[in-house]
Amino acid sequence: MQRGYWIRSKPLYDSLVWQTPAVAHLVVAGGEGGIAVLKLFQQMYPKDPIQVLYADLPKAEKNYSDILQQIVLEELDICDSEESLLENLEQRLKDCTMGTHFYVAGSEAFMWQVLQKTRAAGVQDVDVQKELCGTLARPVYCVHCKTITRDVHHNVFPCSNCGRHLFVRDHFSRRLGAYMGVMVDAEEPGNIPQIEEVYP
Amino acid sequence: MSILNVKVADVEQVTDMVKHFTLVEENGQPLPRFSGGSHVVVSMNINGRIHRNPYSLMGSPENTDSYHISVRRQENSRGGSVFMHDGIEVGSKLQITYPVNLFSLSKLGKKHILVAGGIGITPFMSQIADLKRLGDDYEMHYAFRSAEHGAFVEQLKQMCGDRLHLHIESEGQRINFNNLLSNQPLGTHIYVCGPEPMVNALLLTAKDLGWPKTHVHSEQFLAPPIGDSFQVQLVKSNMEIEVPGDMSMLEAMEEAGLEPDFLCRGGACGRCEVEVLECDGALMHNDHYLSDAEKASGNKIMPCVSRARCQKLLLNI
Protein backbone atom coordinates (compact mmCIF):
# COMPACT_ATOMS: atom_id res chain seq x y z
CA MET A 1 0.00 0.00 0.00
CA GLN A 2 1.39 3.40 -0.93
CA ARG A 3 1.72 6.18 1.58
CA GLY A 4 -1.41 8.30 1.78
CA TYR A 5 -3.35 5.81 -0.33
CA TRP A 6 -6.04 3.63 1.10
CA ILE A 7 -8.58 1.18 -0.24
CA ARG A 8 -11.75 1.64 1.77
CA SER A 9 -12.86 -1.97 1.42
CA LYS A 10 -9.62 -3.40 2.95
CA PRO A 11 -10.78 -4.76 6.32
CA LEU A 12 -8.90 -3.74 9.44
CA TYR A 13 -8.77 -6.03 12.45
CA ASP A 14 -8.51 -5.40 16.16
CA SER A 15 -7.76 -7.34 19.31
CA LEU A 16 -10.65 -9.17 20.93
CA VAL A 17 -12.04 -7.38 23.99
CA TRP A 18 -15.16 -8.47 25.89
CA GLN A 19 -18.08 -6.24 24.97
CA THR A 20 -20.45 -5.31 27.77
CA PRO A 21 -23.27 -4.94 28.56
CA ALA A 22 -24.44 -8.11 26.85
CA VAL A 23 -26.76 -11.04 27.46
CA ALA A 24 -24.31 -13.69 26.17
CA HIS A 25 -21.02 -14.07 24.33
CA LEU A 26 -20.12 -16.44 21.49
CA VAL A 27 -16.43 -16.79 20.62
CA VAL A 28 -15.41 -18.61 17.43
CA ALA A 29 -11.79 -19.36 16.56
CA GLY A 30 -9.80 -21.64 14.30
CA GLY A 31 -6.14 -22.68 14.26
CA GLU A 32 -3.88 -19.83 15.34
CA GLY A 33 -6.96 -17.86 16.40
CA GLY A 34 -6.67 -19.86 19.64
CA ILE A 35 -4.11 -17.36 20.93
CA ALA A 36 -6.70 -14.56 20.68
CA VAL A 37 -9.10 -16.65 22.77
CA LEU A 38 -6.39 -17.18 25.40
CA LYS A 39 -5.76 -13.43 25.46
CA LEU A 40 -9.50 -12.84 25.85
CA PHE A 41 -9.54 -15.11 28.89
CA GLN A 42 -6.74 -13.10 30.48
CA GLN A 43 -9.21 -10.21 30.72
CA MET A 44 -11.89 -9.94 33.39
CA TYR A 45 -14.71 -12.26 32.33
CA PRO A 46 -18.14 -10.80 31.83
CA LYS A 47 -20.83 -12.32 34.06
CA ASP A 48 -23.00 -13.41 31.13
CA PRO A 49 -22.94 -16.92 29.65
CA ILE A 50 -19.95 -17.55 27.34
CA GLN A 51 -19.68 -20.17 24.60
CA VAL A 52 -16.44 -20.92 22.78
CA LEU A 53 -16.21 -22.84 19.50
CA TYR A 54 -12.76 -23.88 18.34
CA ALA A 55 -11.25 -26.13 15.69
CA ASP A 56 -7.61 -27.15 15.19
CA LEU A 57 -6.78 -26.53 11.53
CA PRO A 58 -4.29 -28.61 9.53
CA LYS A 59 -2.61 -25.59 7.93
CA ALA A 60 -2.03 -23.72 11.20
CA GLU A 61 1.54 -23.63 12.50
CA LYS A 62 0.23 -24.00 16.01
CA ASN A 63 -3.07 -25.30 17.34
CA TYR A 64 -4.55 -24.60 20.74
CA SER A 65 -7.27 -27.14 21.56
CA ASP A 66 -5.22 -28.76 24.36
CA ILE A 67 -4.44 -25.46 26.09
CA LEU A 68 -7.97 -24.15 25.62
CA GLN A 69 -9.39 -27.25 27.30
CA GLN A 70 -7.33 -26.41 30.38
CA ILE A 71 -7.94 -22.66 30.40
CA VAL A 72 -11.51 -22.17 29.21
CA LEU A 73 -13.82 -23.33 31.95
CA GLU A 74 -16.88 -21.98 30.18
CA GLU A 75 -18.85 -23.92 27.61
CA LEU A 76 -16.14 -24.99 25.18
CA ASP A 77 -16.80 -27.01 22.05
CA ILE A 78 -13.76 -28.37 20.21
CA CYS A 79 -14.76 -29.25 16.66
CA ASP A 80 -12.71 -31.60 14.50
CA SER A 81 -12.70 -29.46 11.34
CA GLU A 82 -13.61 -26.06 10.00
CA GLU A 83 -16.67 -27.57 8.30
CA SER A 84 -18.01 -29.09 11.50
CA LEU A 85 -17.30 -25.85 13.36
CA LEU A 86 -19.34 -23.89 10.82
CA GLU A 87 -22.20 -26.39 11.05
CA ASN A 88 -22.08 -26.23 14.83
CA LEU A 89 -22.10 -22.42 14.67
CA GLU A 90 -25.11 -22.39 12.37
CA GLN A 91 -27.06 -24.47 14.88
CA ARG A 92 -26.06 -22.32 17.83
CA LEU A 93 -26.97 -19.09 16.04
CA LYS A 94 -30.59 -20.29 15.92
CA ASP A 95 -30.75 -20.12 19.72
CA CYS A 96 -28.93 -16.80 20.11
CA THR A 97 -30.93 -13.70 20.92
CA MET A 98 -30.33 -9.99 20.45
CA GLY A 99 -27.75 -8.80 22.94
CA THR A 100 -25.37 -11.69 22.21
CA HIS A 101 -21.93 -10.41 21.30
CA PHE A 102 -19.76 -12.20 18.76
CA TYR A 103 -15.99 -12.64 18.55
CA VAL A 104 -14.01 -14.33 15.81
CA ALA A 105 -10.27 -15.03 15.45
CA GLY A 106 -8.07 -16.84 12.97
CA SER A 107 -6.88 -16.42 9.41
CA GLU A 108 -8.71 -14.01 7.16
CA ALA A 109 -10.27 -16.82 5.12
CA PHE A 110 -11.50 -18.52 8.30
CA MET A 111 -12.97 -15.34 9.78
CA TRP A 112 -14.94 -14.48 6.68
CA GLN A 113 -16.37 -18.02 6.52
CA VAL A 114 -17.63 -17.46 10.06
CA LEU A 115 -18.93 -13.99 9.16
CA GLN A 116 -20.97 -15.46 6.31
CA LYS A 117 -22.80 -17.57 8.90
CA THR A 118 -23.35 -14.72 11.37
CA ARG A 119 -24.49 -12.42 8.58
CA ALA A 120 -27.03 -15.00 7.40
CA ALA A 121 -28.39 -14.95 10.96
CA GLY A 122 -28.88 -11.18 10.77
CA VAL A 123 -25.71 -10.04 12.56
CA GLN A 124 -23.89 -7.17 10.85
CA ASP A 125 -20.17 -7.64 10.18
CA VAL A 126 -19.28 -4.42 11.99
CA ASP A 127 -20.85 -5.77 15.17
CA VAL A 128 -18.53 -8.80 15.26
CA GLN A 129 -15.15 -8.35 16.98
CA LYS A 130 -12.39 -9.71 14.74
CA GLU A 131 -8.75 -10.55 15.39
CA LEU A 132 -6.42 -11.68 12.63
CA CYS A 133 -4.01 -14.35 13.87
CA GLY A 134 -1.04 -16.29 12.56
CA THR A 135 -0.89 -15.46 8.89
CA LEU A 136 -1.59 -12.61 6.49
CA ALA A 137 -2.49 -15.16 3.77
CA ARG A 138 -5.40 -13.90 1.68
CA PRO A 139 -8.39 -15.60 0.13
CA VAL A 140 -8.45 -14.30 -3.47
CA TYR A 141 -11.34 -14.25 -5.95
CA CYS A 142 -10.40 -14.68 -9.61
CA VAL A 143 -12.46 -12.09 -11.48
CA HIS A 144 -12.05 -14.16 -14.68
CA CYS A 145 -13.19 -17.65 -13.64
CA LYS A 146 -14.87 -16.67 -10.33
CA THR A 147 -12.94 -19.20 -8.24
CA ILE A 148 -11.71 -18.37 -4.76
CA THR A 149 -8.19 -19.57 -3.92
CA ARG A 150 -7.53 -19.65 -0.19
CA ASP A 151 -4.25 -18.95 1.60
CA VAL A 152 -2.47 -16.89 -1.03
CA HIS A 153 0.95 -15.71 0.21
CA HIS A 154 2.33 -13.96 -2.87
CA ASN A 155 1.64 -10.71 -4.73
CA VAL A 156 1.10 -12.72 -7.93
CA PHE A 157 -0.04 -16.34 -8.04
CA PRO A 158 -1.59 -18.79 -10.51
CA CYS A 159 -5.38 -19.16 -10.08
CA SER A 160 -6.18 -22.58 -8.62
CA ASN A 161 -8.83 -23.15 -11.31
CA CYS A 162 -7.93 -21.36 -14.56
CA GLY A 163 -4.20 -20.97 -14.03
CA ARG A 164 -4.08 -17.28 -14.99
CA HIS A 165 -1.46 -15.31 -13.12
CA LEU A 166 -3.45 -13.06 -10.80
CA PHE A 167 -2.29 -9.87 -9.13
CA VAL A 168 -3.71 -9.63 -5.60
CA ARG A 169 -5.40 -6.30 -4.95
CA ASP A 170 -6.47 -4.69 -1.66
CA HIS A 171 -10.06 -4.47 -2.86
CA PHE A 172 -12.06 -6.79 -0.63
CA SER A 173 -15.55 -8.22 -1.00
CA ARG A 174 -17.33 -8.81 2.30
CA ARG A 175 -20.00 -10.84 0.51
CA LEU A 176 -17.45 -13.22 -0.97
CA GLY A 177 -14.95 -12.94 1.88
CA ALA A 178 -12.07 -12.52 -0.58
CA TYR A 179 -9.72 -10.04 -2.19
CA MET A 180 -9.89 -9.25 -5.88
CA GLY A 181 -7.42 -11.05 -8.15
CA VAL A 182 -6.90 -9.78 -11.71
CA MET A 183 -4.83 -11.24 -14.53
CA VAL A 184 -1.46 -9.56 -14.33
CA ASP A 185 -0.27 -10.17 -17.90
CA ALA A 186 -3.50 -9.58 -19.81
CA GLU A 187 -2.03 -6.75 -21.89
CA GLU A 188 1.40 -8.27 -22.42
CA PRO A 189 1.11 -12.07 -22.18
CA GLY A 190 4.07 -13.53 -20.36
CA ASN A 191 5.16 -10.25 -18.79
CA ILE A 192 4.84 -11.27 -15.16
CA PRO A 193 6.39 -9.08 -12.48
CA GLN A 194 8.71 -10.50 -9.86
CA ILE A 195 6.77 -12.83 -7.56
CA GLU A 196 7.32 -12.07 -3.89
CA GLU A 197 5.94 -13.47 -0.67
CA VAL A 198 4.18 -10.40 0.76
CA TYR A 199 1.47 -12.16 2.80
CA PRO A 200 3.49 -14.57 4.97
CA MET B 1 -33.45 22.96 -2.69
CA SER B 2 -36.16 21.48 -4.89
CA ILE B 3 -39.64 22.55 -3.96
CA LEU B 4 -42.98 20.93 -4.69
CA ASN B 5 -46.06 23.12 -4.99
CA VAL B 6 -49.05 21.33 -3.50
CA LYS B 7 -52.59 22.10 -2.53
CA VAL B 8 -54.67 20.67 0.25
CA ALA B 9 -57.25 18.23 -1.09
CA ASP B 10 -58.71 17.14 2.23
CA VAL B 11 -58.49 17.95 5.94
CA GLU B 12 -59.68 15.47 8.53
CA GLN B 13 -59.94 16.08 12.27
CA VAL B 14 -58.60 12.76 13.57
CA THR B 15 -58.61 13.46 17.30
CA ASP B 16 -59.09 16.65 19.33
CA MET B 17 -55.42 17.45 18.80
CA VAL B 18 -54.54 15.87 15.46
CA LYS B 19 -55.46 16.89 11.93
CA HIS B 20 -54.68 14.84 8.84
CA PHE B 21 -53.96 16.71 5.60
CA THR B 22 -54.10 15.22 2.11
CA LEU B 23 -51.79 17.05 -0.30
CA VAL B 24 -51.87 16.80 -4.10
CA GLU B 25 -49.62 18.36 -6.70
CA GLU B 26 -50.97 21.78 -7.65
CA ASN B 27 -51.27 20.92 -11.35
CA GLY B 28 -52.42 17.36 -10.84
CA GLN B 29 -49.03 15.82 -11.68
CA PRO B 30 -47.93 12.67 -9.85
CA LEU B 31 -45.78 13.33 -6.76
CA PRO B 32 -42.32 11.79 -6.41
CA ARG B 33 -42.10 8.30 -4.97
CA PHE B 34 -40.61 7.89 -1.50
CA SER B 35 -39.64 5.13 0.93
CA GLY B 36 -41.31 4.33 4.25
CA GLY B 37 -40.21 6.67 7.05
CA SER B 38 -39.63 9.72 4.80
CA HIS B 39 -40.62 13.25 5.72
CA VAL B 40 -41.19 16.53 3.91
CA VAL B 41 -40.54 20.05 5.19
CA VAL B 42 -43.62 22.27 4.89
CA SER B 43 -43.08 26.04 4.44
CA MET B 44 -45.65 28.31 6.07
CA ASN B 45 -45.89 32.05 5.74
CA ILE B 46 -47.01 33.23 9.17
CA ASN B 47 -47.39 37.01 9.34
CA GLY B 48 -44.67 37.50 6.80
CA ARG B 49 -42.20 35.16 8.45
CA ILE B 50 -41.43 31.81 6.87
CA HIS B 51 -41.72 28.81 9.18
CA ARG B 52 -40.56 25.42 7.99
CA ASN B 53 -41.63 22.30 9.88
CA PRO B 54 -40.83 18.66 9.05
CA TYR B 55 -43.72 16.18 8.92
CA SER B 56 -43.55 12.44 8.22
CA LEU B 57 -45.33 11.09 5.18
CA MET B 58 -48.00 8.65 6.28
CA GLY B 59 -49.45 7.29 3.07
CA SER B 60 -48.37 4.22 1.19
CA PRO B 61 -45.14 4.87 -0.75
CA GLU B 62 -46.86 3.33 -3.76
CA ASN B 63 -49.39 6.15 -3.87
CA THR B 64 -48.05 9.03 -5.96
CA ASP B 65 -51.44 10.76 -6.32
CA SER B 66 -51.31 12.30 -2.87
CA TYR B 67 -49.13 12.75 0.21
CA HIS B 68 -50.54 12.46 3.71
CA ILE B 69 -49.25 14.28 6.77
CA SER B 70 -50.67 14.65 10.25
CA VAL B 71 -50.08 17.54 12.60
CA ARG B 72 -50.55 17.58 16.34
CA ARG B 73 -51.55 20.96 17.70
CA GLN B 74 -48.80 22.23 20.02
CA GLU B 75 -50.12 25.23 21.94
CA ASN B 76 -46.89 26.34 23.55
CA SER B 77 -44.74 26.44 20.49
CA ARG B 78 -43.79 28.91 17.80
CA GLY B 79 -47.02 28.67 15.90
CA GLY B 80 -46.38 26.26 13.01
CA SER B 81 -48.80 23.59 14.17
CA VAL B 82 -51.44 26.14 15.21
CA PHE B 83 -51.15 27.70 11.75
CA MET B 84 -51.64 24.30 10.12
CA HIS B 85 -54.72 23.69 12.32
CA ASP B 86 -56.34 27.11 12.06
CA GLY B 87 -55.01 28.59 8.83
CA ILE B 88 -55.01 25.68 6.38
CA GLU B 89 -58.17 24.39 4.74
CA VAL B 90 -59.16 22.50 1.62
CA GLY B 91 -57.78 24.40 -1.35
CA SER B 92 -54.90 26.05 0.58
CA LYS B 93 -51.60 26.07 -1.28
CA LEU B 94 -48.35 25.03 0.37
CA GLN B 95 -44.74 24.53 -0.60
CA ILE B 96 -43.01 21.37 0.53
CA THR B 97 -39.54 19.92 -0.04
CA TYR B 98 -38.98 16.64 -1.84
CA PRO B 99 -39.23 13.67 0.55
CA VAL B 100 -36.10 12.82 2.53
CA ASN B 101 -35.69 9.64 4.55
CA LEU B 102 -33.75 9.74 7.83
CA PHE B 103 -35.73 6.86 9.33
CA SER B 104 -35.67 4.03 6.83
CA LEU B 105 -36.11 0.34 7.51
CA SER B 106 -32.94 -1.74 7.63
CA LYS B 107 -33.00 -4.00 4.61
CA LEU B 108 -30.77 -6.43 6.52
CA GLY B 109 -33.38 -6.88 9.25
CA LYS B 110 -35.05 -10.24 9.84
CA LYS B 111 -37.66 -8.80 12.17
CA HIS B 112 -38.74 -5.22 12.84
CA ILE B 113 -40.22 -3.88 16.06
CA LEU B 114 -41.89 -0.50 15.61
CA VAL B 115 -42.57 1.57 18.73
CA ALA B 116 -44.63 4.77 18.56
CA GLY B 117 -45.72 7.23 21.21
CA GLY B 118 -48.60 9.56 20.33
CA ILE B 119 -48.13 11.48 17.08
CA GLY B 120 -44.88 9.49 16.64
CA ILE B 121 -47.09 6.95 14.87
CA THR B 122 -46.89 8.87 11.58
CA PRO B 123 -43.60 7.59 10.06
CA PHE B 124 -44.64 4.02 10.82
CA MET B 125 -47.78 4.31 8.71
CA SER B 126 -45.62 4.41 5.56
CA GLN B 127 -43.08 1.93 6.94
CA ILE B 128 -45.83 -0.63 7.55
CA ALA B 129 -46.80 -0.33 3.89
CA ASP B 130 -43.16 -1.13 2.99
CA LEU B 131 -43.01 -4.05 5.43
CA LYS B 132 -46.19 -5.55 4.05
CA ARG B 133 -44.83 -5.31 0.53
CA LEU B 134 -41.53 -6.94 1.59
CA GLY B 135 -43.38 -9.60 3.59
CA ASP B 136 -41.08 -9.02 6.59
CA ASP B 137 -41.87 -10.02 10.16
CA TYR B 138 -42.84 -7.05 12.34
CA GLU B 139 -44.65 -5.90 15.47
CA MET B 140 -46.25 -2.47 15.87
CA HIS B 141 -46.39 -1.12 19.43
CA TYR B 142 -48.42 2.06 19.76
CA ALA B 143 -48.66 3.93 23.07
CA PHE B 144 -50.98 6.89 23.69
CA ARG B 145 -52.48 8.72 26.64
CA SER B 146 -56.11 7.67 26.48
CA ALA B 147 -58.57 6.14 24.05
CA GLU B 148 -59.59 9.49 22.55
CA HIS B 149 -55.94 10.27 21.73
CA GLY B 150 -55.43 7.09 19.73
CA ALA B 151 -55.16 8.52 16.23
CA PHE B 152 -55.49 6.09 13.30
CA VAL B 153 -56.17 3.07 15.51
CA GLU B 154 -58.88 1.65 13.23
CA GLN B 155 -56.70 2.10 10.16
CA LEU B 156 -53.79 0.43 11.95
CA LYS B 157 -55.96 -2.51 12.99
CA GLN B 158 -56.83 -3.06 9.36
CA MET B 159 -53.22 -2.71 8.21
CA CYS B 160 -51.53 -4.76 10.94
CA GLY B 161 -54.14 -7.20 12.26
CA ASP B 162 -52.74 -9.04 15.26
CA ARG B 163 -49.29 -7.49 14.78
CA LEU B 164 -50.69 -4.32 16.38
CA HIS B 165 -50.22 -3.92 20.13
CA LEU B 166 -51.93 -0.93 21.74
CA HIS B 167 -50.71 0.47 25.05
CA ILE B 168 -53.22 2.94 26.51
CA GLU B 169 -51.71 4.85 29.40
CA SER B 170 -55.00 5.87 31.06
CA GLU B 171 -55.84 2.18 31.31
CA GLY B 172 -52.55 1.47 33.03
CA GLN B 173 -50.92 -0.08 29.98
CA ARG B 174 -47.31 0.96 29.51
CA ILE B 175 -44.77 -0.67 27.27
CA ASN B 176 -42.27 -2.69 29.28
CA PHE B 177 -39.15 -2.09 27.20
CA ASN B 178 -37.17 -4.67 29.14
CA ASN B 179 -39.63 -7.40 28.20
CA LEU B 180 -39.99 -6.11 24.67
CA LEU B 181 -36.23 -6.12 24.01
CA SER B 182 -35.41 -9.39 25.79
CA ASN B 183 -35.24 -12.70 23.93
CA GLN B 184 -35.68 -11.21 20.49
CA PRO B 185 -34.16 -13.31 17.71
CA LEU B 186 -30.87 -12.28 16.09
CA GLY B 187 -31.37 -9.83 13.26
CA THR B 188 -34.17 -7.92 14.99
CA HIS B 189 -34.19 -4.15 14.46
CA ILE B 190 -36.11 -1.72 16.63
CA TYR B 191 -37.45 1.68 15.59
CA VAL B 192 -38.84 4.29 17.95
CA CYS B 193 -40.54 7.61 17.37
CA GLY B 194 -42.28 9.55 20.12
CA PRO B 195 -41.74 11.88 23.05
CA GLU B 196 -38.15 12.34 24.21
CA PRO B 197 -38.44 10.49 27.57
CA MET B 198 -39.89 7.47 25.80
CA VAL B 199 -37.20 7.44 23.11
CA ASN B 200 -34.44 7.86 25.69
CA ALA B 201 -35.84 5.09 27.91
CA LEU B 202 -35.90 2.71 24.96
CA LEU B 203 -32.38 3.61 23.81
CA LEU B 204 -31.05 3.09 27.34
CA THR B 205 -32.77 -0.28 27.73
CA ALA B 206 -31.42 -1.43 24.36
CA LYS B 207 -27.90 -0.46 25.41
CA ASP B 208 -28.21 -2.21 28.78
CA LEU B 209 -29.35 -5.39 27.05
CA GLY B 210 -26.36 -5.33 24.69
CA TRP B 211 -28.18 -4.37 21.50
CA PRO B 212 -25.71 -2.98 18.96
CA LYS B 213 -26.41 0.60 17.87
CA THR B 214 -26.75 -0.58 14.28
CA HIS B 215 -30.01 -2.30 15.24
CA VAL B 216 -31.61 0.60 17.12
CA HIS B 217 -33.21 3.41 15.11
CA SER B 218 -34.92 6.51 16.40
CA GLU B 219 -36.37 9.68 14.99
CA GLN B 220 -37.30 12.77 16.88
CA PHE B 221 -37.82 16.10 15.25
CA LEU B 222 -37.26 18.92 17.64
CA ALA B 223 -38.99 22.23 17.35
CA PRO B 224 -36.38 24.99 17.61
CA PRO B 225 -36.47 26.01 21.28
CA ILE B 226 -37.27 29.59 22.21
CA GLY B 227 -34.45 31.45 23.97
CA ASP B 228 -32.75 34.81 24.35
CA SER B 229 -31.76 36.80 21.31
CA PHE B 230 -28.09 36.93 20.35
CA GLN B 231 -25.80 38.31 17.65
CA VAL B 232 -23.96 36.17 15.10
CA GLN B 233 -21.20 37.19 12.71
CA LEU B 234 -21.27 35.21 9.47
CA VAL B 235 -17.68 35.38 8.28
CA LYS B 236 -17.89 34.11 4.69
CA SER B 237 -21.04 36.14 4.01
CA ASN B 238 -19.49 39.15 5.72
CA MET B 239 -22.67 39.86 7.66
CA GLU B 240 -23.80 40.33 11.21
CA ILE B 241 -27.31 39.22 12.09
CA GLU B 242 -29.47 39.13 15.18
CA VAL B 243 -31.21 35.90 16.10
CA PRO B 244 -34.45 36.87 17.86
CA GLY B 245 -35.66 34.78 20.80
CA ASP B 246 -38.43 33.07 18.85
CA MET B 247 -36.38 32.32 15.72
CA SER B 248 -33.69 29.73 15.06
CA MET B 249 -30.27 30.70 13.71
CA LEU B 250 -31.15 28.93 10.47
CA GLU B 251 -34.34 30.97 10.13
CA ALA B 252 -32.49 34.18 10.96
CA MET B 253 -29.94 33.43 8.24
CA GLU B 254 -32.76 32.78 5.77
CA GLU B 255 -34.49 36.02 6.79
CA ALA B 256 -31.21 37.79 6.04
CA GLY B 257 -31.33 36.44 2.50
CA LEU B 258 -28.88 33.54 2.81
CA GLU B 259 -29.69 30.04 1.60
CA PRO B 260 -27.92 27.67 3.99
CA ASP B 261 -28.19 23.90 3.40
CA PHE B 262 -30.81 22.05 5.41
CA LEU B 263 -32.82 18.85 5.30
CA CYS B 264 -34.77 18.03 8.45
CA ARG B 265 -34.71 21.32 10.38
CA GLY B 266 -35.14 19.24 13.51
CA GLY B 267 -31.61 18.52 14.72
CA ALA B 268 -31.56 14.98 13.32
CA CYS B 269 -29.80 14.91 9.96
CA GLY B 270 -26.67 17.08 10.31
CA ARG B 271 -27.05 18.73 6.93
CA CYS B 272 -27.03 22.32 8.22
CA GLU B 273 -23.84 21.85 10.30
CA VAL B 274 -21.77 25.03 10.54
CA GLU B 275 -18.24 25.53 11.81
CA VAL B 276 -17.88 27.73 14.89
CA LEU B 277 -14.77 29.91 14.56
CA GLU B 278 -15.09 31.79 17.82
CA CYS B 279 -17.48 31.96 20.73
CA ASP B 280 -16.90 33.88 23.95
CA GLY B 281 -19.79 32.26 25.80
CA ALA B 282 -21.75 29.01 25.77
CA LEU B 283 -23.13 27.10 22.79
CA MET B 284 -26.50 25.56 23.62
CA HIS B 285 -26.56 22.37 21.54
CA ASN B 286 -30.09 21.03 21.17
CA ASP B 287 -29.56 18.55 18.33
CA HIS B 288 -29.40 14.74 18.23
CA TYR B 289 -26.73 14.71 15.55
CA LEU B 290 -23.40 15.77 17.10
CA SER B 291 -21.72 13.37 19.51
CA ASP B 292 -21.20 14.45 23.10
CA ALA B 293 -17.50 14.91 22.33
CA GLU B 294 -18.26 17.14 19.35
CA LYS B 295 -20.70 19.18 21.41
CA ALA B 296 -18.09 19.60 24.14
CA SER B 297 -15.37 20.64 21.71
CA GLY B 298 -17.53 23.52 20.50
CA ASN B 299 -16.28 23.58 16.90
CA LYS B 300 -19.60 22.83 15.24
CA ILE B 301 -23.21 23.83 15.67
CA MET B 302 -26.54 22.87 14.13
CA PRO B 303 -28.24 26.20 13.45
CA CYS B 304 -31.67 24.60 12.97
CA VAL B 305 -32.21 23.97 16.70
CA SER B 306 -29.13 25.14 18.62
CA ARG B 307 -28.51 28.57 20.11
CA ALA B 308 -25.79 30.46 21.94
CA ARG B 309 -25.50 32.63 25.01
CA CYS B 310 -22.57 34.92 24.33
CA GLN B 311 -21.44 38.37 23.29
CA LYS B 312 -19.53 37.22 20.24
CA LEU B 313 -20.17 34.26 17.93
CA LEU B 314 -18.32 33.80 14.63
CA LEU B 315 -19.62 31.20 12.18
CA ASN B 316 -17.78 30.07 9.05
CA ILE B 317 -20.64 30.58 6.63
pLDDT per residue over B224-247, tens digit each? 888 889 999 999 999 999 998 888
| pLDDT for position B83 | 93
The distance of B180 to chain A (nearest Cα, Å) reads 11
Domain shared by B132 and B204, yes or no: yes
More confident residue, B287 or B75: B287
Q: How far apart are CA B24 and CA B177, in angstroms?
A: 39
Which amino acid type is present at position B95? Q
Query: Would an 8 Å CB–CB cutoff place B210 in contact with chain A?
Result: yes
Is the pLDDT confidence value at A176 over 60?
A: yes
In chain A, where are the structural domains located?
24-132, 138-183
B211–A contact, CB cutoff 8 A: yes
Q: Is B210–A21 a contact, with Cβ atoms under 8 angstroms apart?
A: yes
Q: Are residues B214 and B155 in the same domain?
A: yes
pLDDT of residue A26 exceeding 80: yes
pLDDT of residue B191: 97
Residues B214 and B253 both lie in one domain:
no
Q: pLDDT exceeding 70 applies to what percent of chain B? A: 100
pLDDT of B34 over the 90 cut: yes
Measure the CA–CA gap between B85 and B19, rounded to whole angstroms: 7
Q: Which residues of B72-86 are buried (b: 16+ CB within 10 A; e: fewer)?
A: bbbeeebbbbebbbe
How confident is the model over B41-66, as a mean pLDDT? 90
d(CA A101, CA A16): 11
If you measure CA to CA, which chain A residue comes closest to B111? Answer: A122
- Å from B77 to nearest chain A CA? 39
Instruction: Please give the pLDDT value at position B1.
Output: 54
Residue B283 has pLDDT above 70, yes or no: yes
B82 and B7 within one domain = yes
Kindly list the residues from chain B whose CB atom is less than 8 angstroms away from the CB atom of residue A96.
Answer: 186
Answer whether B209 sits within 8 Å of A99, measured CB to CB: yes
ipTM field: 0.90
Question: Sign of the CA dihedral A45, A46, A50, A53?
Answer: negative
- Whether B129 maps to a domain, the answer reads yes
Listed residues B219, B247, B271: the one ending a domain: B219
Question: In this predicted structure, what is the pLDDT of residue A1?
Answer: 59
pLDDT at B223 over 80: no
Q: How far is CA A127 from the centre of its chain?
A: 15
Range of the domain at B122: 111-219
What phi-psi label fits residue A179: left (phi over 0), alpha (psi between -120 and 50 degrees) or beta? beta
Summarize the confidence of residues A26-33 as an average pLDDT: 96
**Residue A51 near chain B (CB below 8 Å):** no
Cis peptide before A21 (omega within 30 of 0): yes
Q: Residue A2 has what pLDDT?
A: 66
- Asked whether residue B16 is domain-assigned, the answer is yes
Helix (H) or strand (E) holding A34: helix A34-40
Nearest residue on chain B to A92, judged by CA atoms?
B186
Calpha distance A135→A62 (Å, rounded)? 11
CATH number at residue B237: 3.10.20.30
Give chain A positions within 8 Å (CB) of B136: none
Residue A4, pLDDT above cutoff 80: no
Inter-axis angle of helices B153-160 and B122-134, nearest 10:
10
Residues 179-198 of B with CB under 8 A from A: 181-188
Confidence class of residue B69 from pLDDT cuts 50, 70 and 90? very high
Q: Which residue in the set B109, B187, B214 is minimally distant from A121, CB to CB?
A: B187
**Residue B78 predicted with pLDDT over 80:** no
| Residue B106 domain-assigned (yes or no) | no
Q: What is the CATH number of domain A24-132?
A: 3.40.50.80
Across residues A63-75, what is the average pLDDT?
89
Among B38, B73, B101, the domain-final residue is B101
Identify all chain A residues contacting B208, using CB atoms and an 8 Å cutoff: 21
Q: Is A200 on the interface with B (CB under 8 A)?
A: no
Domain check: are B188 and B117 in the same one? yes
CB contact under 8 A, A99 and B186: no
Q: How far apart are CA A182 and CA A164, in angstroms?
A: 9
Is some CB atom of chain B closer than 8 A to the CB atom of A44?
A: no
Q: Looking at B199, B219, B239, which one is the last position of a domain?
A: B219
Q: How many domains does chain B have?
A: 3
CA distances from A184 to A145, A152, B2, B209, B303 (A): 14, 15, 48, 50, 53
pTM over 0.95: no
Question: Is the confidence at residue B196, as pLDDT, over 70?
Answer: yes
Could you write out the DSSP letters of every residue in B56-123?
Answer: E--S-TT--S-EEEEEE--TTSSSHHHHHHHH--TT-EEEEEPPEESSPPPTT-SEEEEEEEGGGGHH
- For residue B179, tell me if it sits in a domain: yes
Name the residue type at position B56: S
Per-residue pLDDT, averaged over A138-147, amounts to: 96
Are A126 and B187 inside 8 Å of each other by CB?
no
Q: Measured between alpha carbons, how far is residue B189 from residues A155, B65, B74, B119, B215 in Å?
A: 41, 31, 31, 21, 5
What is the average pLDDT across B296-313?
92
In degrees, to the nearest 5, what angle opens at C-alpha A126 toward C-alphas A52 and A178?
85
**B210 and A99 in contact by Cβ < 8 A?**
yes
Residue B107 near chain A (CB below 8 Å): no
Question: Which residues of chain A neighbour B212 with C-beta distances below 8 Å?
Answer: 124, 127
pLDDT number for residue B2: 81
Kindly state the average pLDDT of the residues A66-82. Answer: 90
**Is B225 a domain residue?**
no
Min Cα–Cα distance to chain B from A102, Å: 11
B212 touches chain A (CB under 8 A): yes
Nearest CA in chain A to B208: A21
Low-confidence winner among A166-170, B59-63, B207-211 (lowest mean pLDDT): B59-63
- Residue B214 contacts A, CB cutoff 8 Å: yes
pLDDT score of B76: 73
| Candidates A23, A121, A124; nearest CB to B210 | A23
Averaged over A32-49, what is the pLDDT? Answer: 94
Nearest CB neighbour to A97, from listed B186, B207, B208: B186
Looking at residue A17, its pLDDT comes to 97
Average pLDDT, chain A: 94
Query: Is A93 in the B-facing interface, judged by CB distances under 8 Å?
Result: yes
